[in-house]
């Protein structure tokens, strides 16, 4: 028998709209699953059960005219994202008791669309790593194999969606932080074009690398969340690209990107490193499907070469210099302290020169691939990594090097600002999901989503689930 979590985000919204499901019914269902499996997969830092139930009861009582497009549907917010009145730790013991007084714009916009947050999902400390293993919550584990990481920094969001603890979730991506967990956990992880989703009201923009975005089980669900997030907000430092007619969900549902020229490559961009055959095979599968659908797939050189790494490395060091409370530096993880120590030694002039040189190289790469509507490459160089593998040697420098070898593709598209999506188009011999990365031209999020939806349609959908999906939850739920 189908359970509420078998329904997609949009199917749940439709069921609430028709009166077939109540919002409180959905919230209680997911809270029971979170209590049973949340810590097992390390999905949540904080669960806001009482708050969610109160909002769900209000949603059930709301008149039709006061209901948003995703009215009454549960979701979750990444623990890097400010949420007024809810503990937000940024994945760090240094902020273990921090409670913001203001919502991030994206939280406010998701609430306006009618969604109900069940809590804050596990993230890496200050968003500094591509795994989510800190001291404020259990490590985020891949529901397909809990011995393996769910990735980061939106690892808890991916674990929650893949385990059936929420239908879709908010995350953010500064160097692959949505796409990496999506690839590991068999999901759709979408990084929008720079400026499409507000990063406010606080923060300096981090050189334009991070952006809020959705992670979900289907392209349509991701597009629906993007519609809710991508509302222009005054004062943002980057001009938002125009939305397509009817919004992103309408484009995804039509799934008509037109005939595309797609540039394919598998050579890593940040480091010379071997690429697992399963990751190459996912690209081959995607290329075959695209060619069969009538698109032109051509081999291209990667937009940048590994010699760009020292420039990107310097930027990443500086980005780790997030202010922390006085006296709390020693509570940071070894990797974070290592990155911050390196960043503190970068003079302002060197930083400015590095940014200029990096942008010049990126411009060259974008221009070299400008004749391609989309780029296709692996999401990762390896399909999985055990929990604890990145930190196993105890050397933060080795940890950082392992990360760039594991993920040598995604971060470049944060520098370019292009929209980029990881799709679950492959699998390992033992059944773990493997992602392929599609990247569009800057501002052409509609075309990218249409192409992703068309691929999803060709394969008949990729909404398959790990064993934990079918496991029944416990009968009791702890309140907050």
Q: Is 153 part of the annotated catalytic residue set?
A: yes
Catalytic residue chosen out of the listed positions 23, 78, 132, 420:
78
For residue 153, cis peptide bond before it (omega within 30 degrees of 0):
yes
Q: Is 172 part of the annotated catalytic residue set?
A: no
d(CA 266, CA 377): 5
Catalytic residue chosen out of the listed positions 132, 177, 198, 422:
177
Contact in structure between 215 and 161 (CB atoms under 8 Å): yes
Catalytic residue chosen out of the listed positions 124, 153, 198, 407:
153
d(CA 56, CA 50): 10
Q: Is 78 part of the annotated catalytic residue set?
A: yes
Which residues are marked as active site? Answer: 78, 153, 177
């Amino acid at each position: 028998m189908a359970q509420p979590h078998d329904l997609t985000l949009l199917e749940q919204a439709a069921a609430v709209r028709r009166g077939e499901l109540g919002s409180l019914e959905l919230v209680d269902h997911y809270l029971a699953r979170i209590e049973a499996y949340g810590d097992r997969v390390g999905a949540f830092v904080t669960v806001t059960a009482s708050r969610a139930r109160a909002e769900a009861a209000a949603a059930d009582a709301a008149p039709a005219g006061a209901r948003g497009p995703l009215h009454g549907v549960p979701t979750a917010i990444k623990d890097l994202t400010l949420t007024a009145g809810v503990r937000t730790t940024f994945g760090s013991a240094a902020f273990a008791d921090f409670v913001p007084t203001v919502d991030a714009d994206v939280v406010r916009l998701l609430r306006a669309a009618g969604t109900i947050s069940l809590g804050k999902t596990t993230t890496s400390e200050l968003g500094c790593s591509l795994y989510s293993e800190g001291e404020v919550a259990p490590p985020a584990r891949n529901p397909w194999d809990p011995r393996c990481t769910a990735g980061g920094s939106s690892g808890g969001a991916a674990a929650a969606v893949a385990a059936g603890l929420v239908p879709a979730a908010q995350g953010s991506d500064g160097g692959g932080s949505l796409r990496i967990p999506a690839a590991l956990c068999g999901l759709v992880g979408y990084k929008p074009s720079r400026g499409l989703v507000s990063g406010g009201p606080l923060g300096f923009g981090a050189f334009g690398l991070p952006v809020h975005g959705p992670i979900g089980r289907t392209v349509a669900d991701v597009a629906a969340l993007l519609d809710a997030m991508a509302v222009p907000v005054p004062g943002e430092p980057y001009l938002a690209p125009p939305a397509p007619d009817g919004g992103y969900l309408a484009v995804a549902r039509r799934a008509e990107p037109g005939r595309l020229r797609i540039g394919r490559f598998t050579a890593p961009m940040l480091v010379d490193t071997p690429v697992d055959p399963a990751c190459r095979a996912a690209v081959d599968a995607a290329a075959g499907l695209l060619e069969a659908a009538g698109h032109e797939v051509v081999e291209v050189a990667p937009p940048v070469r590994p010699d760009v790494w020292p420039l990107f490395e310097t930027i990443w060091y500086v980005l780790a210099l997030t202010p922390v409370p006085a006296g709390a530096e020693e509570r940071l993880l070894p990797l974070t302290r290592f990155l911050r120590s390196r960043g503190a030694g970068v003079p302002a002039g060197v930083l400015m020169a590095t940014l200029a040189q990096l942008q010049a190289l990126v411009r060259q790469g974008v221009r070299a691939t400008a004749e391609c509507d989309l780029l296709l490459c692996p999401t990762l160089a390896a399909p999985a990594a055990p929990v604890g593998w990145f930190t196993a040697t105890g050397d933060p420098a080795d940890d950082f090097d392992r990360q760039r070898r594991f993920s040598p593709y995604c971060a470049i598209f944060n520098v370019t600002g292009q929209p980029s999506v990881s799709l679950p188009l492959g699998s390992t011999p033992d059944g773990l999901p493997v992602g392929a990365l599609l990247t569009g031209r800057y501002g052409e999020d509609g075309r990218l989503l249409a192409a992703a939806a068309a691929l999803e349609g060709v394969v008949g959908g990729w909404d398959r689930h790990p064993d934990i999906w079918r496991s029944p939850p416990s009968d009791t739920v702890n309140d907050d």
